[in-house]
Structure 1
Amino acid sequence: MTGFLLRFFIVAFGLWLASELVPGIDVQGVGTLLGAALLLGIVNAVVRPLLLILTLPITILTLGLFLLVINAAMLGLVAWMFDNFSIAGFGAALLGSIVVSLTAWLASYFIGPRGRFEVIVVRRR
């Protein structure tokens, strides 16, 4: 449960950061931000794998760059479901998905597979 909550707040932070950095992304209110983070997690767990399978040939042809388009589409889908969350266009969705992905990737460096902070101790002799 701790791992889920930690990753949830990381995605929420990534969405907030994207709304601050990327022009064209507007999130109004903390409730909308937290709801969008939860819905983005659900969409990424349910819809994204189906899209990955369906678009596998295009993804292979583009050497994986089409995954950025899929991530932008998932963010756009979440924005479409919320009234107080808007994305101006595909470019904003693409940049926003990159910000959210980089935030989650950087945070996952410090989080282990069980959702706990990992501390690595190196002892030199």
Structure 2
Amino acid sequence: MNFIIKLFISSIVVFALSYFLPGVHVTSIVAALWVAIVLGLLNTFLKPVLVFLTIPVTLFTLGLFLLVINAMIVLICDYFIPEFHLDGFITALLFSILLSVSQSILNKIFVSEKIIL
């Protein structure tokens, strides 16, 4: 159930950011739902590989390169979904930062993290 709530929150945030952030274009709420699904899959399967391969750069930049990896993940999502378009790397970087912060705040509010042992 928490997965569905998180997916719904992500799609609403993606759709809202398309209105408030210039350079982000999402055609519909269904496209935003697809963006949330693809971003979730990319963050699950591709991001750990990219983080592992870029450990030296990440250590040298004191972790700031992780922001670049997040922007690259968003740009890959832009490539796969035709209804989702970003105008450039800086837009992808801002989008990924705002998406992460918004998701974190809204997930703290709406998702209950009950651990059952």
Alpha-carbon spacing, 1:23–1:44, altered in 2? closer, same or farther (3 Å):
same
C-alpha distance in 2 between matches for 1:55 and 1:21: 32
Letter in 1 for 2:46: V
C-alpha distance in 2 between matches for 1:14 and 1:84: 16
Report Cα offsets for 1:41-84 as digits up to 9, x if no partner. 01110000110101111111111111111111111111111111
Residue in 2 that maps onto 1:47: 46
Greater per-residue helix proportion: 2
Report if aligned partners of 1:14, 1:99 keep a CA contact under 8 Å in 2. Answer: no
Alpha-carbon spacing, 1:114–1:50, altered in 2? closer, same or farther (3 Å):
farther
Residue in 1 that maps onto 2:73: 74
CA-based RMSD = 1.5
Q: Which has the larger radius of gyration?
A: 1
Residue in 2 that maps onto 1:14: 13
Alpha-carbon spacing, 1:108–1:6, altered in 2? closer, same or farther (3 Å):
same
Q: TM-score, normalised by structure 1?
A: 0.85
Question: Which of structure 1's runs of 4+ aligned residues deviate more than 6 A?
Answer: none
Report if aligned partners of 2:13, 2:103 keep a CA contact under 8 Å in 1. Answer: yes
Residue in 2 that maps onto 1:113: 113
Q: TM-score, normalised by structure 2?
A: 0.90
**Cα offset for 1:106?**
0.8
**Cα offset for 1:114?**
4.4
Deviates more, 1:101-110 or 1:46-55: 101-110
Identical amino acids, percent of aligned pairs? 33
- Count of aligned residue pairs for this structure pair: 114
